[in-house]
Structure 1
Amino acid sequence: MDTRSGLTRPDFPFYNRQPIPISALQWLLILSALCIAFALLSMPWPSSDSVAGSWVHALLFCLVPLAAMALISRRAVTALFHRLHVRDVLWMIAIAVLNLVITILVALAFSGLHHASSNPMFAQLGNADVSTRVMAFGMMVPQLLGEELLTILPLLALLQWLTTRMRMRRSYAVLCAWLLSALPFALAHLPTYQWDLLQCLVIIGTARLVLSLAYVVTRNLWVSTGAHVLNDWALFGFAFSYPVAPMLHGFT
């Protein structure tokens, strides 16, 4: 990690044809790869009940869209990831903490109006041994990278479309892309939460908007992924360590 502050931030890639132009057809390839990756994450083979099967699912989820981008150009991949500076790590921590606070507040308010479904992973890991939990926490890293790609790639595609096709001002385009790109992430959690659309849109959608701020501010996918990992590790770790786990079941 670079200890310099990294005050100069790169611009969002692709919308202004930098560092490379990406055509509409190429975006279709990338977004199709995202759909395939999500389908592979949900596939019954190899069985996700095994450690190896779970790792295969998680790795394919992030590698398939990255491979599609690499087919276009290696620079398309490197445009997403930048060297980490000290300030980037601080952003990771700050966004993770902010997301925990906001999501818990929203979830508590929501639970008073609507019955929230539980994330089955809490129950699966609640009775697991330490080694299984450690393995699960490690597996979260590639899976959460895949979830970041599921959000940030549509954000960048929307940003390009809104600025070039719709002639929208960059600031408005960023705002619209930030809001709309939370939808794929929220809807992808429908199977996890017993197809509760309201819960996914309100709780998961809110969490996604906060996590996306890490990328909007830094334009570095390592930062948003790091914030997401810290957020989920904190939620699951806290739930396993204290008898308030039932309160947290609908938060991640």
Structure 2
Amino acid sequence: MLNNLEKTPLRPYWYLSVLFIALGVYGSLSGVLPLTWIWFIVGGALAIVTQFNFETLKVSMGKMEKGSWKIIFWSIILTFITSFATMALGNLLFHTGFVENSNAVHTGPILARIQHLVLLSISLIGEELITASVAFPLYHLLAKKMSSKQAWIIAGLISAILFGLMHLKIYHGNLYQCIVVIGLTRLPFNYAWRKTNSLWGGIIGHIIYDLVIFIPAMFIV
């Protein structure tokens, strides 16, 4: 389905989805609303339904193509490589100091830490939905003016940058870290959407990537 998204018509009022995207970001990051871990999912899902229809949301969260686990594996590896490379580049060129993700700082009983990781994993599903709710309509509009490949690249870049900017609060306003190290290095997960023909390609890759980072920080170090 994701490979034919340009053929799915946008609803006339698709631009109202910006309100749902804003709701998802506000609910997840402001700390004002309860259940912060669910708002990305709510906002992203409602945005995609508003842009296209419920069937688009359902199919985009459908079964992955055969052989998808290889794509997910390499998307994780590539994200690690680009993350470390961009961090090294930032230190070399800009002497950039990097901020630790506050989600990895969690002390207390073991069960509380496990619960934290479970809720974090659920919120990552929402992060992919929010990112997709930006990339999907952009791709749909751009695909009418250029090749499908070019449209995916541009939509992916813009949505990845916005994804990075969502992390400004977590990383204390460090623009390089948010836009480059966090934002642009998530492009392999966008690629996994397309190659697996399902958002689950990026979701699973994103969850595994974060757990590989957070589990040692929370339980070992």
TM-score, normalisation: structure 2: 0.87
Report how far residue 25 of structure 1 moved: 1.9
Paired residues for 1:1-252 under 5 Å: 10-17=1-8, 21-26=9-14, 28-46=15-33, 53=34, 56-70=35-49, 73-84=53-64, 87-112=67-92, 113-123=95-105, 125=106, 127-164=107-144, 167-240=145-218, 243=221
Would you say the 8 A contact 1:93–1:230 is kept in 2? no
- Structure 2 distance, partners of 1:25, 1:107, is 40
Structure 1 residues 23 and 85, CA, compared in 2 at 3 Å: closer, same or farther?
A: closer
Distance 1:179 1:69 in 2: 19
Preserved CA contact (<8 Å) 2:71 2:192 = yes
Counterpart residue identity of residue 23, structure 1: R
Indicate if the aligned counterparts of 1:12 and 1:156 stay in contact, CA closer than 8 A.
no
How many percent identity over aligned positions?
Answer: 19
SS in 1 for 2:60: coil
- State the Cα deviation string for residues 12-41 of structure 1 (Å, max 9, x = none): 343212xxx223522x12232111111111
Q: Mind listing any 5+ residue stretches in structure 1 that lack a counterpart?
A: 1-9, 47-52, 244-252
CA–CA distance in structure 1, aligned partners of residues 149 and 81 of structure 2:
27
Q: Residue type matched to 2:139 in 1?
A: L
- Distance (Å, rounded) in 2 between the aligned partners of 1:241 and 1:44: 25
1:80-126 deviations in whole A, cap 9, x for unaligned?
A: 11214552233223312321232123223323421112222223x1x
The 8 Å contact of residues 183 and 201 in structure 1, kept in 2 or not, is answered as yes
Q: Deviations over 1:160-205 (max 9, x none)?
A: 11123xx222222122112111111011011111111122112112
Instruction: Specify whether residues 68 and 154 from structure 1 end up closer, same or farther in structure 2 by C-alpha distance, changes over 3 A only.
Output: closer
Q: Distance in 1 between matches of 2:155 and 2:125?
A: 19
Q: Matched residues in 2 for 1:190 and 1:11: separation? A: 29
Aligned residues of 1:58 and 1:143 also touching (Cα < 8 A): yes
Question: Which SS does the other structure have where 2:7 is aligned?
Answer: coil
TM-score using structure 1 length: 0.77
Q: Find the aligned partners of 2:204 and 2:157 in 1 and give their Cα distance.
A: 21
Give the whole-Å Cα distance in 1 for the aligned partners of 2:66 and 2:24.
32
Question: How many aligned residue pairs are there?
Answer: 218
Paired with 2:177 and 2:47, the residues of 1 have a C-alpha distance of 32
- Is the deviation greater in 144-153 or in 58-67? 58-67
**Structure 1 residues 42 and 97, CA gap change in structure 2 (3 angstroms):** same
Letter in 2 for 1:121: N
Secondary structure, counterpart of 1:12 in structure 2 = helix
Hey, what's the Cα distance between the residues in 2 that align with 1:204 and 1:86?
A: 29
- Whichever structure has more helix as a proportion of its residues is 2
Alignment-mate amino acid for residue 223 of structure 1? G
- Based on CA coordinates, which of the two structures has the bigger radius of gyration? 1
